Amino acid sequence: MPAAEREHTQHRAVWARRASVVGLTAACLLPHWGWAQAANGASEPAGRVVDAAAWLLRVHEAARLRNYEGTLVSSDANSVTVWRVAHYADADQQVERIDALGGEPLTVLRHNDVVHKLWQRTRVAEVEQRDARTMFPALPASAEQRILEWYELRPAGPARVAGYDADVVVLQARDALRFSQRLWAERQTGLLLRADIIAPNGRLLEWSAFSEIAIGVKPRLSIVTDRLRHLDGYRVLRPAVLPTSLDNEGWQLSNPPAGFKPVQCAKRSLDPNGGASEPVVLQAIYSDGLTHVSLFVEPFDVKRHQAEFAGAIGATHTLRTRRDDQWVTVMGDVPIETLRRFVLALERKR
């Protein structure tokens, strides 16, 4: 792989995670929740939830169908990231555009399920299908009941965010394997305006919030479609992604942490061009309906895999370890103990 593309790959790992927090949607973050309102949108007295599952579904629909533009600020313990975001729905067309306003220059464009990541400094355009982690704020089918099995929804009163009246709820984790979340939903539409990830001791690990937002704007699909027509000067890469399963690849997760179910598994080439000269990474994604954990398995390489590691940046914990001739990486917005259980549950079948 050319040196410029190796450098691009290093930056990609950090910024792709940031973009996944934005969720490739202007509402970004995590699944988005509405407030205590009936399905027809009629307001209810503050502090009383009508139906938690219907409430979650309402926000899912708001994030999918509403048009909005705004500036989003995300912060963890070490950094602050600012994004310009836009989401438009027009008939059967869905487009999103996310521009990083600081750090590594990055523009993320989505037209329906095709995502382009434009790394401006290296002039690389990476094209992929949207994966399970980038579905937010739209919830997976039937996720509402799964979420409520592992999180208790608690109303927390009214607030204002970015000039809008909002209602606050807490999704309180029912066990120590996941973090709680505090969410601010715009009162009239149910669109998420802010989300916090909270440690068991109450410490704020990460937050993301709109500093300004316009909801119900006229759709401007051309800000995505026109840009995609003009990629002159960019090296367009289409990383090889082959759907598979852990079982097909000789692995099994015998006893995963409670609540986490497989949602996607694929083999990915470390060479963005899909060349056979580079090793292949096996990636399996698990979700409890609200948060995700990614499990990566690849051949051990002494040049790239030198030290085992366990640590965190904000809410995102990462665990890297050697398993015989394989290198295993597990990461997600969950406590480190959850990641350890994933590693312990991973078994080689052959």
pLDDT band, residue 189 (cuts 50/70/90): very high
Asked if 222 and 266 sit in the same domain, the reply is no
* Model pLDDT, residue 9: 40
- Chosen domain end from 181, 199, 228: 228
The C-alpha atoms of residue 333 and residue 136 are separated, in whole angstroms, by 14
DSSP assignment of 219-256 equals P-THHHHHHHT--TT-EEE---EEE--TTTTTEEESSP
pLDDT digits (tens, 9 = 90+) for 37-73: 333 333 343 444 447 777 777 777 888 889 999 999 9
Q: Are 241 and 285 in contact (CB under 8 A)?
A: no
Which is higher by pLDDT, 76 or 38? Answer: 76
pLDDT digits (tens, 9 = 90+) for 13-38: 444 444 444 443 333 333 333 333 33
Number of folded domains that form the chain: 2
Structure tokens at 348: 């080689």
* Model pLDDT, residue 173: 96
- How many residues are recorded in the chain? 350
Q: Are 187 and 179 in contact (CB under 8 A)?
A: no
Identify the H or E element spanning 120.
none
3-state SS track over 299-333? ECCCCCCCCCEEEEECCEEEEEEEECCEEEEEEEC
Give 180's strand partners.
198
CB atoms near residue 94 (< 10 Å): 21
Which is higher by pLDDT, 302 or 200? Answer: 200
Q: Which range of residues forms the domain containing residue 336?
A: 239-348
- Chosen domain end from 199, 228, 257: 228
Which amino acid makes up residue 56? L
* Model pLDDT, residue 56: 74
pLDDT value at 87 more than 90 = yes
Which CATH number covers residue 159? 2.50.20.10
Q: Are 268 and 274 in contact (CB under 8 A)?
A: no
* Model pLDDT, residue 273: 57
pLDDT value at 176 more than 70 = yes
Asked if 30 and 162 sit in the same domain, the reply is yes
Question: Above pLDDT 70, what percent of the chain?
Answer: 78
Region 254-265: what's the mean pLDDT?
92
Asked if 145 and 251 sit in the same domain, the reply is no
What is the average pLDDT value for the chain, to the nearest integer? 81
List the alpha helices (DSSP H) in the chain.
3-22, 52-65, 143-150, 222-228, 336-345
Residue at 146 is within a domain: yes
pLDDT digits (tens, 9 = 90+) for 102-157: 888 999 999 998 999 999 999 999 998 876 554 434 444 456 668 889 999 888 88
- Chosen domain end from 172, 199, 228: 228
Residue at 233 is within a domain: no
CA 203 to chain centroid, in Å, comes to: 21
